[in-house]
């Protein structure tokens, strides 16, 4: 229930960036000038493939730059006021939290446990919060780790709230520099918490070595003779806040959906669909927060901040979801791999917020459940007259789940179910073939010579200014610049080929889980002093073939230029061509070092041979038409 009040729960503040706007317009003017020059060349000269391809490429870049200007022109910064929210709202709405993990080897359970602990300790009434952990690996180790984490949470959560701990993921809290508040009581409790966390960590690590307490034999019985890709659904309530205590612990539920070889499980998207259905039967909260297993909450008031936007009476029907930017901890200095996204978060995402809002990034996002179910934020009835029939058609044959969906679509919050009932219905909606009989999870359909030099200079100057404005160095800008070239030529190219092959029915898209590191303070210090930090490691993956091929071609081009090996009637090399080749070689400098390095830091012979053959074919293709 909300009390009337004219004081806003949040503010939208426009970010003024006149220099960036001036550079945007300058680059756009230069692009238009270049297009006009190309067009006049095409009209006054005979048709050539080279000029036509150049014109089309520059036309496309102009179009994309126009989109960039449109997105970044009016950046917005949000300021929320959680204290005003607490004074205005008598009872906060329930929130279901989804944590997804897929492989206990690539995603160590200790990482998942820290994320779960940071969520259990969030500044939100425990009786309005439920945490669901989806384990796509169906690992008894993950389940055991959550049971152990619950024991620690019973002392960790009160400690965090008593002393207003800011970072509530234990591995980060105990690895940082601690400033004691001077009281003996706090120092004693802090030492106790650290000892208990070390005990938890050891128990989880021993469990990973198949050393599990015999007291848990009955709890782990469902995991006997289980294959990770072929098993029935397993749903276990690890903790239920039966008394509805505001200062207790939130619900904690383990979910491992059914997997069968004959049914596609759709990777993380499929896991999220099952979590939506299972939570719909258990708690059916009107809001859903989803995070990846390695995305711990670094601000305990994150849910309150999200509710400031959802519950402000002036904009109640505007937002479908509220998303928080990702932040990376212990990143290498100057971002050598170009993957911390600081500039993108600050400029692109804030600019998109000024229009309507950024796209969903897959984690760190609070959704309205009814929007996930298909109802627009303005409350429009998407089903028309035949409401009940359309509900069954959309949400499947589970009567209990259809009722919970109808409850959510009507924006009701007092869902009567509890965690302990509807076991049959829970397992039904977690089966691998449930979606076959419904429209659930429908695929989303996607809607003159100095000019190039000036474009190059102004574009990179603008990018450099953006990095300086966000407190980063010129080296960080360069690292992101070269990684953008590497990602485009290597990862994006292979990704485009994979999509084409999938559309032709020649291959299937495979979701690969990236390996996460379970770090501690000692690990962080060791990694920060590692002399090989920032170096590329190579293997025989085809991912490295395009980049190596480009590098060899540019080396050949420079060799021909400097040795002045020219054929008759061929235009000699100019400064522009040489500059472009040098620029690309600098971008692929890590590959160049890999050509002469050994071990994991060296390019394999198979990759060098494939790339050399492709480079030779490209050179032959370029020479043949000139004869």
For 398-420, give the DSSP string.
-HHHHHHHHHHHTT-------TT
| Chain centroid offset of residue 28 CA | 31
Give the angle 391-393-394 at the CA atoms, nearest 5°.
65
Residue 475 lies in a domain: no
CA distance 494 to 517: 26
* Radius of gyration of the chain, Cα coordinates, nearest whole angstrom: 28
Contact present, 306 and 289 (Cβ < 8 Å): yes
Q: Give 490's contacts (C-beta < 8 A, 6+ positions apart).
A: 543, 544, 546, 547
Contact present, 95 and 413 (Cβ < 8 Å): no
Q: How far is CA 314 from CA 90, 91, 301, 507, 545, in A?
A: 18, 19, 22, 49, 54
Single out the residue of 264, 240, 261 nearest to residue 252, CA to CA.
240
CA distance 410 to 412: 6
Q: With the C-alpha atoms ordered 32, 33, 36, 37, is the resulting torsion angle positive or negative?
A: negative
Q: Classify residue 433 as exposed, middle or buried by CB count within 10 Å of its CB (0-12, 13-18, 19+).
A: exposed
Task: Work out the end-to-end distance of the chain between its first and last CA atoms, rounded to an integer number of angstroms.
Answer: 81
Residue 161 lies in a domain: yes
CA distance 364 to 326: 7
Residue 94 lies in a domain: yes
Buried b (16+ CB within 10 A) or exposed e, 353-381: bbeebbeeebbbbbbbbbbbbbbeeeeee
Q: What share of the chain is helix, strand, coil (3-state, %, to 5)?
A: 55, 10, 40
Buried b (16+ CB within 10 A) or exposed e, 30-43: bbeebbebbeeeee
Residue 24 lies in a domain: no
pLDDT at residue 263, as a whole number: 81
Residue 263 lies in a domain: yes
Tokens of 221: 């019985």
Which residue stretches of the chain have pLDDT < 70? Answer: 1-5, 46-47, 176-182, 211-218, 315-317, 376-388, 411-422, 437-449, 509-512, 514-534, 564-574, 623-627
Tokens of 174: 């105990």
CA distance 137 to 101: 8
For 104, the 3-state DSSP assignment is: coil
Residue 609 lies in a domain: no
Pairing of the two strands 129-135 and 95-101 = parallel
Helix (H) or strand (E) holding 395: helix 387-395
Overall number of domains in the chain? 1
Parent domain of 403: 90-299+382-436
Q: State the angle between helix axes of 474-486 and 450-469 in degrees (0 to 180), rounded to the nearest 10.
A: 120
Residue 597 lies in a domain: no
Tokens of 11: 């503010």
CA distance 252 to 239: 5
Most distant CA pair in the chain, distance: 89
Rounded to 5 degrees, φ, ψ at 14 are -75, 130
Single out the residue of 533, 505, 374 nearest to residue 438, CA to CA.
374
Q: pLDDT digit string (tens) for 424-459?
A: 777 777 777 777 766 665 554 433 557 777 888 888
pLDDT at residue 215, as a whole number: 55
Rounded to 5 degrees, φ, ψ at 24 are -60, -50
Residue 279 lies in a domain: yes
Q: With the C-alpha atoms ordered 361, 362, 367, 373, is the resulting torsion angle positive or negative?
A: positive
Residue ranges of alpha helices (H) inside 89-139 are 109-120
CB atoms within 10 A of CB 77: 13
Contact present, 155 and 193 (Cβ < 8 Å): yes
pLDDT at residue 548, as a whole number: 92
Contact present, 257 and 134 (Cβ < 8 Å): yes
Single out the residue of 594, 267, 321 nearest to residue 432, CA to CA.
267
Counting Cα atoms < 13 Å in the Cβ hemisphere of 192 gives 11
């Amino acid at each position: 229930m909300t009390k009337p009040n004219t004081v806003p729960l949040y503010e939208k503040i426009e970010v003024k960036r006149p220099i960036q706007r001036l550079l945007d317009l300058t680059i756009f003017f230069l692009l238009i000038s270049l297009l006009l020059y190309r067009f006049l060349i095409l009209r006054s000269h005979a048709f050539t493939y080279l000029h036509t391809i150049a014109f089309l490429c520059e036309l496309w870049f102009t179009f994309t730059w126009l989109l960039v200007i449109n997105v970044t022109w009016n950046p917005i910064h949000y300021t929320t006021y959680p204290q005003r929210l607490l004074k205005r709202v008598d009872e906060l709405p329930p929130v279901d939290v989804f944590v997804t993990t897929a492989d206990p080897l690539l995603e160590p359970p200790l990482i998942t446990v820290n994320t779960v602990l940071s969520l259990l300790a969030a500044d939100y009434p425990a009786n309005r919060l439920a945490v669901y952990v989806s384990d796509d690996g169906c690992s008894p180790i993950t389940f055991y780790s959550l049971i152990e984490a619950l024991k620690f949470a019973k002392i960790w959560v009160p400690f965090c709230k008593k002393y207003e701990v800011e970072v509530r993921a234990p591995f980060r809290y105990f690895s940082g520099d601690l400033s004691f508040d001077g009281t003996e009581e706090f120092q004693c409790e802090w030492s106790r918490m650290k000892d208990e966390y070390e005990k938890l960590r050891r128990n989880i690590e021993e469990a990973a070595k198949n050393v599990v307490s015999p007291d848990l034999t009955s709890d782990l019985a469902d995991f006997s003779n289980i294959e990770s890709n072929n098993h029935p659904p397993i749903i276990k309530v690890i903790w239920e806040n039966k008394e509805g205590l505001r200062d207790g612990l939130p619900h904690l539920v383990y979910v491992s959906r059914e997997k069968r070889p004959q049914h596609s499980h759709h990777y993380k998207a499929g896991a999220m669909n099952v979590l939506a259905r299972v939570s719909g039967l258990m708690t059916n909260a009107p809001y859903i927060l989803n995070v990846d297993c390695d995305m711990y909450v670094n601000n305990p008031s994150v849910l309150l901040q999200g509710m400031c936007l959802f519950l402000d009476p002036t904009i109640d029907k505007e937002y479908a979801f509220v998303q928080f930017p990702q932040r990376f901890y212990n990143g290498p200095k100057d971002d050598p791999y170009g993957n911390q996204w600081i500039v993108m978060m600050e400029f692109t995402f804030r600019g998109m917020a000024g229009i309507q809002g950024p796209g969903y990034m897959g984690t760190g996002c609070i959704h309205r459940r009814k929007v996930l179910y298909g109802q627009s934020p303005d409350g429009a009835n998407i089903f028309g007259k035949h409401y009940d029939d359309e509900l069954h058609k959309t949400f499947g044959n589970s009567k209990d789940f259809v009722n919970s969906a109808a409850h959510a679509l009507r924006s009701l919050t007092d869902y009567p179910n509890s965690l302990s009932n509807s076991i049959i219905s829970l397992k039904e909606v977690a089966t691998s073939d449930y979606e076959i009989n419904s429209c659930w999870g429908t695929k989303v359909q996607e809607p003159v010579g100095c000019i190039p030099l000036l474009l190059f200079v102004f574009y990179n100057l603008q990018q450099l200014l953006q990095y300086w404005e966000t407190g980063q160095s010129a080296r960080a800008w360069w690292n992101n610049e070269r990684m953008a070239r590497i990602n485009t030529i290597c990862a994006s190219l292979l990704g485009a080929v994979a999509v084409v092959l999938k559309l032709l029915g020649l291959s299937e898209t495979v979701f690969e889980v990236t390996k996460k590191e379970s770090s501690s303070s000692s690990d962080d210090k060791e990694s920060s002093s590692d002399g090989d930090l920032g170096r590329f490691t190579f293997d025989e993956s085809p991912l490295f073939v395009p980049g190596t091929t480009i590098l060899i071609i540019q080396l050949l081009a420079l060799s021909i230029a400097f040795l002045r090996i020219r054929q008759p009637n061929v235009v000699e090399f100019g400064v522009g061509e040489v500059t472009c080749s040098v620029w690309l070689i600098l971008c692929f400098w890590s590959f160049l070092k890999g050509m002469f390095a050994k071990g994991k830091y060296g390019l394999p012979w198979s990759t060098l041979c494939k790339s050399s053959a492709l480079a030779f074919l490209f050179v032959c293709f370029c020479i043949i038409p000139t004869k």
